[in-house]
Amino acid sequence: MKKLLIVIVIAIAVAAGIYFYKGGVATVAAKDNSVLAYVPADTVLFTGSVTPISFEEAMAMSHKLGLDPSTFMDMQDDAFELGPDSPDAARIALGLYAKYMKSFADKTTVKTLGITEAPNAAFYTVGALPVMRIELDGSDTFAKLIEQIETEQNIAADIKNMDGVEFREYAFSNDSSVPYSLVISSHDNQAVMTVNTPLTDDKDIKVALSKPEKSIADTGRLTDMMANNDYLGHSLFFIDNLAIMKGLTNPQTNSFGVMVNDLLVANGMQGALADMQTPACASEFTALTANWPTMSGGYTEFSANEANFKFMLEGANADLLKSLQGLRGHLSENLNNDDYVMSFGMGFDMDQMVPVITDVWQRLTETPYECPPLAEMQAGLKQQNPMMLGMMTGMVAGIKGIGFGIVEMDMAGLEQASSNPMAVADSMQMIVTVSAQKPQDLLMTLSSFAPQFAQMELKDGGDAVSLQDQMGMPASIALRGHDLVMLVGADALSQLPSIKSNDDLSSNGLFSMSMNFGKYMELISSVMNDMDANSEMAQDQKAMFDKLKEVDGTIKGTLDITDEGVVSETSFKAK
């Protein structure tokens, strides 16, 4: 699909700019948010804000990410075109997206869409029905925009009314037997998008357009989530895993389960979940899910040049979490260098791998399950013996973590690697670290495969030893505390003075990554420049990546297991 990449990258950059900016302190209570008043208290999915910020403020971070609207002024109309046989729902949705993107390029988004200066939006579920809602500016601009798109796309909306609220329907298929349609409405100074289903309108459209008896604004759900996870009041997100499982296994438990069951019946699929809905399955599936009841996300930090987004898979089983924390290894600080193009680290305590896996295996196999799907899973697990892993992990005993960092890279040189293997060493500087309790013992392990390692003598803090003969390219190895450090590349040895002694092997995580965004995009841009101008990566795509490579900032990410659950954090720091 022509220009698919540019549309995706633009959408990601816009979203990243908005999300990275939404920081600060939630000074307005949820009950004062008009959009939250429509979100039911028992929604199983939610993303939105307690306190919205201005569009201009949000776009300020997009600009720091290299997203200049003028870069996209020359985008061709066919980037947003569909075939003549496309259903009305696809045409109206893409037409609305095109208006948004063009208004973004013209810096007229708020005026064009008729939304407030501080966009207040939420995506959530009513039962099992997805709903998107955004506050309007008090004018009829949005309604007129929808009518304009209908005219431009030659769409005839099916206009209906539910309890005095007008809504417009657009079919998802040209086949009239498909009973689903996109619904767009503007009411109570808010625009709403949802889906009409085979259910009667009082069971889907009415509940999607009306205020619930009890909204999420009437509860402390969002504020408690913020307090428990140090989230700021912007771009909050959660999925209620436990409520979803309860609804699937016992439909009458909540509104989500009731609607899922009604939809299955309406589509002639009654009984499709019968295997999960026996008393035994309901109890056992719910008990398993209760170990990980919710997923949530939100910003924990924001300043003029820095933002940090946290994602949490909540863990409610303290004993299980303590066991899983045994997997945590060591992520060497020697790869934490913002000037590197990118780096990755994996922290796993190999000495604890078998004990942890064995503990989890025992938890899943000790108590017989009565639910057939779980009993089948359990029988399969019993046929596996995690102790067999000891034969493999024994060779890497003592290792706490590994990582690598790309210091510099020349894509043009690497393209010659197929005909000239030495081009890899000439075009890239790379550092590899292995963190271990006794790193010199690893050389003895390697000697069983390459005897020359047995005679290799490394002095902690001393000079690097060449690996040219072993690897057939410029490479060397050095010892820095608990780190074995390998430097690959013709100029990589110049990095050795900056490699510090790793004297602390404490467990600090499972995974880390770092990317110098500008340098990485510069590599991508060099690839774009070598592509045919008539290919999908045409001149406008190249211009986009040329702009993105000007970003002077670092993106970092981590993954860890804490006493609260599985935690992932992503940060952007502008220089």
- Residue-wise pLDDT tens digits, 71-110: 554 544 455 677 778 899 999 999 999 898 888 877 888 8
* Long-range pairs of 179-188 with CB within 8 A, sequence gap ≥ 24: 179/266, 181/89, 182/88, 182/89, 182/92, 182/93, 183/208, 184/92, 184/146, 185/209, 186/136, 186/140, 186/142, 186/143, 186/146, 188/34
pLDDT band at 531 (very low <50, low <70, confident <90, very high): low
Inform me whether the pLDDT recorded for 343 exceeds 70: yes
Q: Minimum mean pLDDT among 34-43, 84-93, 332-341, 439-448: which range? A: 439-448
Instruction: Work out the average pLDDT over 380-388.
Output: 84
How many other C-beta atoms lie within 10 A of the C-beta of residue 520?
Answer: 18
Query: 534 or 220, which is more confident?
Result: 220
Of 184-188, 509-513, 548-552, minimum mean pLDDT range: 548-552
Q: Decide if pLDDT at 337 tops 80.
A: yes
Say which residue, 235 or 526, is predicted with more confidence. Answer: 235
Q: Cβ(427)–Cβ(414) under 8 Å?
A: yes
Q: What are phi and psi of 215, to 5 degrees?
A: -100, 165
Per-residue pLDDT of 443-475, as tens digits, reads: 888 777 777 777 788 899 999 998 887 777 888
Give the pLDDT mean for 332-352.
Answer: 93
Q: Could you tell me whether strands 129-135 and 399-409 are parallel, antiparallel, or unpaired per DSSP bridges?
A: unpaired
The reported pLDDT for the residue numbered 51 is 87
